[in-house]
């Protein structure tokens, strides 16, 4: 059941940068369509009311302004302050109205920053033994905590993922839990156990189109938005379908 009356598919917003991110946004839109949702790309110059969405994907892209988590900016790092502000406001609204949220790469980091956490500005300054890897192919092995929602969704304790990042979660934000790491210790997955669906993954599942386990992240996001997710995907009982109290428009 769609969350807004008169809509056949849940509507999911995908945040992106004005400059770039189009390939990732297209891949996310395809993944969400296959999962049963419609989607809309949201940028600082193409806004959309967050309270009209049924779920939110905070997408990948440029680094987050280090001043948001108390670090000094690096001049060689490209940031997008307008997008930062957009996503902080979007996450504020999502938290207020209880939207399911999936954060991807930068989006996972933004979830952590929004909850008061911090980031490693450059993972290779901290994890010197970590391989320098940048690939859309699943080449990096990660381990997932067996008592996590991420584990229940993927159905596996270890998997290979892609790597397109040089930053990662450092201090974990309020109400969040680290649920996946790679061998070097770099955080690869976070979630909020007390929320119906608030998950961040450091990799890009939208590019792993042939991997049904990875695509399950989108299916479960959409199912949560529609109110059809299995009971054990919730911390408690699932919230009522929001379509019963919301008007079309």
Chain segment 34-62, per-residue pLDDT in tens: 999 999 999 999 999 999 999 999 999 88
pLDDT score of 129: 67
- Locate the domains of the chain by residue range: 11-245
Determine contact, residues 90/56, Cβ cutoff 8 Å.
yes
pLDDT score of 231: 63
Buried b (16+ CB within 10 A) or exposed e, 219-238: bbbbbbbbbebeeeebeeeb
Give CA–CA dist 177/193, Å, rounded. Answer: 7
pLDDT score of 8: 86
Strands 55-58, 101-104: pairing kind: parallel
pLDDT score of 244: 28
Return the CA Rg of the chain: 17
Determine contact, residues 14/57, Cβ cutoff 8 Å.
yes
pLDDT score of 128: 60
pLDDT score of 75: 53
For domain 11-245, give its CATH number from 3.10.180.10, 3.30.420.40, 3.40.630.10, 3.40.50.880: 3.40.50.880
Give 64's DSSP letter: P
Stretches where the chain sits below pLDDT 70 are 1-6, 21, 73-76, 124, 126, 128-130, 231-249
Q: What is the pTM of this model?
A: 0.89
């Amino acid at each position: 059941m769609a969350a807004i009356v008169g809509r056949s598919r849940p509507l999911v917003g995908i945040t992106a940068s004005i400059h770039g991110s189009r390939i990732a946004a297209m891949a996310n839109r395809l993944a969400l369509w296959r999962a049963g949702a419609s989607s809309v790309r949201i940028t600082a110059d193409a806004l959309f009311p967050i309270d009209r969405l049924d779920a939110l994907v905070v997408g990948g892209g440029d680094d987050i302004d280090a001043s948001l988590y108390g670090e000094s900016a690096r001049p060689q790092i490209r940031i997008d302050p307008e997008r930062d502000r957009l996503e902080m406001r979007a996450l504020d609204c999502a938290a207020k109205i209880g939207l399911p949220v999936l954060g991807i790469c930068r989006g996972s980091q933004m979830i952590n920053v929004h909850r008061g956490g911090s980031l490693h500005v450059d993972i290779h300054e901290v994890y010197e033994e970590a391989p320098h890897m940048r690939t859309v192919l699943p080449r990096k092995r990660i381990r997932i905590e067996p008592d996590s929602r991420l584990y229940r969704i993927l159905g596996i304790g270890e998997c290979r993922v892609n790597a397109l990042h040089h930053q990662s979660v450092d201090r974990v934000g309020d109400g969040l839990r680290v649920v996946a790491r790679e061998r070097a210790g770099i955080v690869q997955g976070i979630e909020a156990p007390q929320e119906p669906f608030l998950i961040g993954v450091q990799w890009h599942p939208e590019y792993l189109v042939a991997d049904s386990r990875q695509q399950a992240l989108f299916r479960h996001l959409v199912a949560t938005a529609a109110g059809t997710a299995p009971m054990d995907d919730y911390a408690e009982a699932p919230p009522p379908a929001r379509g019963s109290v919301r008007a079309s428009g």
